């Protein structure tokens, strides 16, 4: 066998091997990963309590997050214990805050975050309705500033790799009691 024939034989084997590898990678197509509520809840609980200053007037503490995934409309609900402490007063108010929002993927952080957050309910213990209405504006500011930064779930790099193929999250949806991420091979 001459050098030329040997070279072409090796090149042909390499090309066939590359073709087979490329064909195998296309067999690993889009897939769905279901993340149960319990797993999401455990991850969220580690991020709280959170402390924030709002309007340079109120110190706000958020604690005990409870995530709910009703399913059907791709929205989630988040209930929190809230304590508001005005900086110039010696009193504080405790109560509950319920927020709902849509889930989106933040590709820079590989995280699922809540967007389009809205305050569904704000209730403080031992407070008249007039003052609660005043504090509802604080809650709306808080939902815009804080909730969008809280990751409901963060994908680890190994979560997005399967059979040697790198995946990206292309869609986030919900089912009752679970979040469903659709993954597709990275292009």
3-state percent breakdown (helix, strand, coil) of the chain, nearest 5: 30, 45, 20
130-135 long-range contacts, CB within 8 A, separation 24+: 135/84, 135/93
pLDDT digits (tens, 9 = 90+) for 61-85: 999 999 998 866 778 999 999 998 8
Q: Domain spanning 41-150: which superfamily?
A: Uncharacterised protein PF07273 family, DUF1439 (3.15.10.40)
Tell if the pTM clears 0.95, that is, is over it. no
* 3-state secondary structure labels for all residues of 28-71: CCCEEEEEEHHHHHHHHHCCCCEEEEECCCEEEEEEEEEEECCC
Quick: pLDDT tens for 127-182: 888 877 777 776 777 676 677 778 899 999 888 888 888 899 999 988 888 999 99
Confidence at residue 154, expressed as pLDDT on a 0 to 100 scale: 92
In the predicted structure, residue 3 carries a pLDDT above the cut 70: no
Domain boundaries, the chain: 41-150
How far apart (Å, rounded) are the C-alpha atoms in residues 14 and 12? Answer: 5
pLDDT at 40: 93
For residue range 32-50, list pLDDT tens digits in order.
Answer: 999 999 999 998 999 999 9
């Amino acid at each position: 066998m001459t050098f030329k024939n040997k070279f072409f034989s090796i090149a042909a084997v390499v090309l066939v091997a590359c073709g087979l590898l490329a064909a195998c990678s296309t067999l690993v197509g889009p897939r769905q990963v279901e993340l149960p509520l319990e797993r999401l809840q455990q991850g969220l609980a580690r991020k709280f309590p959170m402390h924030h200053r709002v309007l340079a007037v109120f110190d706000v503490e958020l604690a005990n997050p409870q995530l709910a995934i009703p399913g059907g409309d791709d929205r989630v609900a988040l209930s929190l214990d809230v304590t508001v402490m005005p900086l110039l007063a010696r009193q504080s108010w405790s109560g509950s805050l319920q927020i709902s929002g849509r889930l989106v993927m933040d590709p820079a952080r590989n995280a699922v975050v809540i967007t389009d957050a809205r305050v569904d309910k704000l209730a403080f213990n031992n407070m008249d309705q007039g003052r609660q209405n005043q504090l509802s504006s604080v809650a709306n500011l808080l939902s815009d500033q804080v909730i969008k930064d809280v990751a409901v779930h963060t994908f680890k790099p190994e979560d997005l790799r399967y059979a040697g193929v790198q995946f990206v999250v292309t869609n986030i949806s919900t089912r009752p009691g679970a979040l469903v991420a659709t993954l597709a091979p990275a292009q």
